[in-house]
Each structure stands twice: as structure tokens, then as C-alpha cells.
Amino acid sequence: MPESQLDTARDQGGADPASSPSVPPARPSGSGSRAASAPGGSLPLPPAAGHTVTLERLNAYYGGRRTIRDVDLTFAPNEVTALIGPSGSGKSTVVRCINRMHEEIPAARAEGRVLLDGEDVYGPGVDVTTVRRVIGMVFQKPNPFPTMSIFDNVAAGLRLAGVRGGEMRERVHQALRAVGLWDEVSDRLGSPGVGLSGGQQQRLCIARTIAVEPEVILMDEPCSALDPIATLKIEELIDELKVRYTIVIVTHNMQQAARVADSTAFLLDGELVEHAPTEEIFTNPKDERTERYVTGKFG
């Protein structure tokens, strides 16, 4: 079992890695590089042992105001967990606490523990940029870097962490194949990333995220800015990605949760109301508030 990524950073005292020890090497694709491609040019992803994320008594504050209240939640490895709930219920905040993006907002803080395979990402001496390399995030509005080409966008996380040359190129190509963009962009890797359509841009952002080989992928309403066809493509992609990563997806679209997620958690006013296999949440919810939400009585 590979040493915990967070330990590596701690041993280095949080020094900025000039070489790439804290970016995990590309795991060999099981069937070799000549594997048959699925339509779209995507390669079936080689599976990888999953990672568990556990939230223990998570509380989040904006200044003095507590917006997430005592949340205990476990995200099972190699599964997709959806967070649903009305606007303002704290879904995005919970997810941003997992990769410690929440604390980037001035006067925002989190309390409690977020355990990645048993190790607290808020623990003393933990390097926050390493946490974010290991727990990746895809945002609601696709945000490719405007001054970079398609290739450079996917390579951004690698290049700026010291991976170079042939290995970098290989991983960029793998990532583009994995998200199904390869056929569409392989002949124009040098053209600007912002020249793609919305759905393609979002897949580009996902490729950028997986190029650094995270263990967990957080997705904050990744499809809400996209059209239905693009949404479908990304949902298919999520289904393929989970063999390799643990995925948490925030969505305000219950149908999407039903399509994509293995288990679903319902949040209301910053509290976790119920967490159950997706089918149960929608057909047989245990809590009355969950039932009212999923049947559309509010939200």
C-alpha cells in the first residue's frame, strides 16, 4: 500500500517539490497502450483501489455564522455519492471543506475532522496544497486557463509540479482519452482551451483534474452550466471514472443524482438529514423532510 501522500509532504516540511515525489507516478494501464478504444477515443480507465473520505462532526463558519452543523458522513471508495438539497443548504460548503478550499474565503473556517483513508486533512503539519493535489475539484462553470492551449491546460497541474517531458506528454494524452476528448482535439492540442464548447471545456477541466492522479474527485454542480447532451456525456464519464476514483458530486438536479450516484446524502440548512443508497432515498426515504424534498414539495 503506497505511503500516504500527506505524509510525504509533511516529511518535506511542506517545501515546494522541485521534482515530482508528491505527484504519484502514472499507474500502468493494465492492457497496454494499444487497448481498444471506446467510441469517442476514450480508453477504459484502469481500476485503482479506492479511497474513503469520512467527515466527522464537520462544522463550517463564515465569520461568526455557522453554516454547516455537525455533519458526519462517509463517502465510500470507488463510488459516486451525490449531495442534494435546496439552495443554501450547504452542499457546496461541505464539499469545499473536503479539499480545504473553504478556508480560502476570508473569515471562513472549518472545525471537525475530514479523514482521507483515516488521515485528517486538517491535521497539524498537513500541507494544504498537497491535500488539494490528492483531492481534486471540478467547478460549476468550466474554467480552463484562458492563456493556455488545450495541451497546456491539461498539463498545468503536472508541469507546475515538476513533471516534464515524455511522462508529462503521456499523461496528458491519457487524460484526454479518459474523458473522451481525444478524437475531438488530438489534431489541435495547441489551440486555445477556451475555444472549445462548454461541454468540451468542462471535460477539459476534468482531464486537467485527473492528469495529476488524485484519489478523490469533488464535483460542484459540474453540469448545471451545460446543455443536456453535454450533461449526458459527463454523466457517462463519471460512471467510468469511479472505477479509479472516489467521486462526490453536488447537484441540485435530483434526476441526475438518480442517474449517476450510488448513494445520496440530503442536506438541509447545513445539517445532514439522511444518507442512503440512491434508490432508497428516492423511493423510500426515512425522514419526512427528505420525502418532502424528493417529491418536490419544496426546494
Of 116, 156, 204, 267, the one binding another protein (CB under 8 A) is: 156
* DSSP code, position 245: S
- Minimum gap (Å) between residue 23 Cβ and another protein: 9
- 62 near another protein, rule: CB under 8 A: no
- 49 near another protein, rule: CB under 8 A: no
Q: How many residues bind another protein (CB under 8 A)?
A: 29
CB 213 within 8 A of CB 27: yes
* DSSP code, position 262: S
* DSSP code, position 42: B
Toward another protein, which CB reaches closer, 161 or 247? 161
Q: Which alpha helices (H) appear in 60-188, and where do they start and end?
A: 91-98, 128-134, 150-159, 165-178, 182-185
Distance CA 243, CA 191 (A): 31
Q: Which of residues 101-120 bind another protein (CB under 8 A)?
A: 101, 104, 106
Of 98, 205, 206, 267, the one binding another protein (CB under 8 A) is: 205
- Written as nine digits, the cell of 240 is 467510468
Region from 63-71, 143-151, 175-183, 231-239 binding another protein, contact rule CB under 8 A = 143-151
- Minimum gap (Å) between residue 273 Cβ and another protein: 28
Q: Which of residues 208-267 bind another protein (CB under 8 A)?
A: 208-209, 212
- 134 near another protein, rule: CB under 8 A: yes
Region from 61-69, 128-136, 226-234, 263-271 binding another protein, contact rule CB under 8 A = 128-136
Distance CA 72, CA 182 (A): 40
Region from 109-117, 134-142, 245-253, 274-282 binding another protein, contact rule CB under 8 A = 134-142
- 150 near another protein, rule: CB under 8 A: no
CB 122 within 8 A of CB 100: yes
Distance CA 193, CA 53 (A): 32
For the beta sheet containing 246-250, the strands, ordered from the edge strand earlier in sequence to the opposite edge, are 135-138, 216-220, 246-250, 80-84, 263-268, 271-277
Query: What length is written for the chain?
Result: 299
- Beta pairing class for 216-220 and 135-138: parallel
Q: Which of residues 72-101 bind another protein (CB under 8 A)?
A: 99, 101
- 199 near another protein, rule: CB under 8 A: no
- Minimum gap (Å) between residue 161 Cβ and another protein: 7
- Minimum gap (Å) between residue 104 Cβ and another protein: 6
Distance CA 211, CA 221 (A): 21
Distance CA 140, CA 294 (A): 22
Of 50, 90, 157, 180, the one binding another protein (CB under 8 A) is: 157
- 133 near another protein, rule: CB under 8 A: yes
Give me the residue label for grid cell 458522513: 73
Binding site for another protein (CB under 8 A): 16, 99, 101, 104, 106, 129-134, 136-137, 139, 141, 143-147, 156-157, 160-161, 194, 205, 208-209, 212
